[in-house]
Structure 1
Amino acid sequence: MTTRRCPDCGVTTTEMRVQTGDGFGLHLVTDEPKKGLLGGLGMRETLRLRAFVCPECGLVRSYAARDE
């Protein structure tokens, strides 16, 4: 688990799930093709979006989940 701190308050942030109103998780689409057959069909790699929220000031920071 990754620990992140709020740059404004200095307190530990809480990781929260980011999703659409339909319940689907958000992800980032890269310029890299997917591996295998799907890449040959033009599909691109995706990265899960991780969001961290400060319990003090409400600042939200988003990060791309890499190499998990």
Structure 2
Amino acid sequence: MATRRCPDCGVTLEEMTMRTSDGFELHLVTDEPKKGILGSLGAKEKVKPTAYACPECGLVRQYVEE
């Protein structure tokens, strides 16, 4: 994985974990069908974004690592 840098400050972004208030991790639902029988039933693929925060300005960005 490449080092992510803040577009505003130029410093290295720090990897963070984002969770809901219930303690669950966030995920994104894509338009791609899930593999296997769940996909044939209409279930969509989920991906987990990784959050990065700038320690200088507080900018937060999320990326899907592939």
Distance 2:42 2:54 in 1: 38
In angstroms, what is the RMSD of aligned CA positions? 1.0
State how many pairs are aligned: 66
**Contact 1:28–1:64 under 8 Å retained in 2:** no
**Match of 1:40?**
40
Unaligned runs of 5+ in 1: none
**Match of 1:63?**
63
The within-5 A match list for 1:13-32 is: 13-32=13-32
Aligned letter for 2:15?
Answer: E
Moved over 4 A (4+): none
Unaligned runs of 5+ in 2: none
TM-score, structure 1 as length reference: 0.89
1:39 aligned counterpart, secondary structure: helix
